[in-house]
């Protein structure tokens, strides 16, 4: 049915020996939308995506991709989905554009490989064998290979990791144009600004479960304002806190970077700048904004490094 979501994952469990990589995860990705799956290292994102792609089988739970079961209906599904892997999948000696043209020919209604190669800057290295391409060039080729067959759904695992700013922008533009053409895009990323700018829907995964989901605005909304500034490390926070409106609080993390949260908007800003003036503190780079997706992510998943 065209109206059902592109991906529905319900109660997915996947174990590797004693490790439970995915532990009852739920995820929905709509058609014609970009869904970003976020989570700390080892959260279970890649395992979940690989199960949706049909590369892994679930130990429990249900996975439906374009209405099909990827473990059972792989042959029917493969021509309809595009997969960008973090590495590999290309013969080391094949030339970049040859591989793209060849892959295009395997599909019934491919995108024009020349235009796509142009768009992702692959022509300049088009005659270079895969193994001699730089990491970023291999990444761009992997993206081109994932989308050249005009899939209905594309899975992109950290599509912009390690790309230079130009290639990152080209990738974002391509993802936006895929969405405009009605393609469902499911991507994993560690770049919170990428998810905030690009995604219609965000799922935050931690410990093998989805711990939050919604649009970036839904996830970031309904929270207090955040004011940030940079100053000398070790300012007297007790004194600053005493000067703030009721309910507001200041913290320093990392050293010299101050974050003041609380309702109050202009009154909060006035209180902070008045305190700075009274204490001869030159606050640098003052910004006021609502919580960013990164704030929400760190609130949800904690600030400690993952093993």
Residues that bind ligand ATP (CB under 6 A): 16, 19, 21, 39, 41-47
Q: Between residues 43 and 163, which has the closer beta carbon with respect to ligand ATP? A: 43
Measured between alpha carbons, how far is residue 212 from residues 6, 159, 300 in Å?
Answer: 19, 22, 8
**Contacts with 15 (C-beta within 8 Å, 6 or more apart), sequence order:** 21, 59
CB 82 within 8 A of CB 151: yes
DSSP 124-174: TTTTSBGGGS-HHHHHHHHHHHHHTT--SEEEEESTTTT--HHHHHHHHHH
Q: Between residues 5 and 40, which has the closer beta carbon with respect to ligand ATP? A: 40
Which three-class secondary structure state does DSSP give residue 304? coil
Distance CA 135, CA 238 (A): 48
Q: How far is the CB of 215 from ligand ATP (least distance, A)?
A: 22
Q: Between residues 43 and 250, which has the closer beta carbon with respect to ligand ATP? A: 43
Q: How far is the CB of 306 from ligand ATP (least distance, A)?
A: 8
Q: Which of 27, 30, 31 lies closest to 63 in space, CA to CA?
A: 27
Q: How far is the CB of 173 from ligand ATP (least distance, A)?
A: 25
Q: Which of 226, 273, 274 lies closest to 250 in space, CA to CA?
A: 226
Q: Between residues 247 and 302, which has the closer beta carbon with respect to ligand ATP? A: 302
Q: How far is the CB of 276 from ligand ATP (least distance, A)?
A: 39
Q: How far is the CB of 44 from ligand ATP (least distance, A)?
A: 5
Q: Between residues 188 and 261, which has the closer beta carbon with respect to ligand ATP? A: 188
């Amino acid at each position: 049915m065209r109206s059902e979501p592109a991906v529905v994952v319900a109660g997915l469990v996947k174990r590797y020996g004693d490790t439970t990589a995915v532990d009852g995860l739920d995820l929905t990705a709509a058609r014609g939308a970009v869904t970003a799956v976020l989570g700390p290292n080892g959260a279970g994102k890649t395992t979940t995506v690989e199960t949706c792609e049909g590369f892994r089988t679930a130990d429990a739970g249900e996975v439906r991709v374009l209405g099909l079961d990827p473990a059972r209906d792989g042959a029917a599904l493969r021509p309809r989905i595009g997969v960008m892997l973090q590495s590999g999948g290309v013969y080391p000696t094949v030339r970049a554009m040859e591989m793209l043209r060849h892959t295009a020919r395997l599909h019934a209604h491919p995108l024009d490989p020349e235009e796509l190669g142009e768009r992702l800057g692959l022509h300049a290295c088009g005659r270079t064998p895969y193994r001699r391409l730089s990491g970023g060039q291999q990444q761009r080729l992997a993206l081109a290979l994932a989308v050249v067959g005009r899939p209905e759904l594309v899975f992109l695992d950290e599509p912009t990791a390690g790309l230079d700013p130009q290639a990152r922008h080209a990738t974002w533009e391509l993802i936006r144009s895929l969405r405009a053409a009605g393609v469902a895009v499911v991507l994993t990323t560690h770049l919170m600004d990428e998810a905030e700018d690009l995604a219609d829907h965000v799922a935050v995964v931690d410990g093998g479960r989805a711990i939050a989901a919604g649009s970036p605005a839904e996830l970031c909304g309904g929270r207090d304002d955040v004011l940030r500034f940079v100053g000398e490390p070790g300012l007297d926070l007790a004194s600053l806190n005493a000067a703030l409106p009721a309910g507001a609080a200041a913290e320093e993390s990392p050293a010299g970077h101050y974050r003041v949260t609380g309702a109050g908007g202009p009154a909060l800003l006035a209180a902070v700048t008045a305190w700075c003036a009274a204490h001869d503190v030159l606050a640098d780079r003052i910004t006021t904004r609502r919580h960013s997706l990164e704030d929400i992510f760190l609130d949800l998943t904690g600030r400690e490094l993952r093993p």
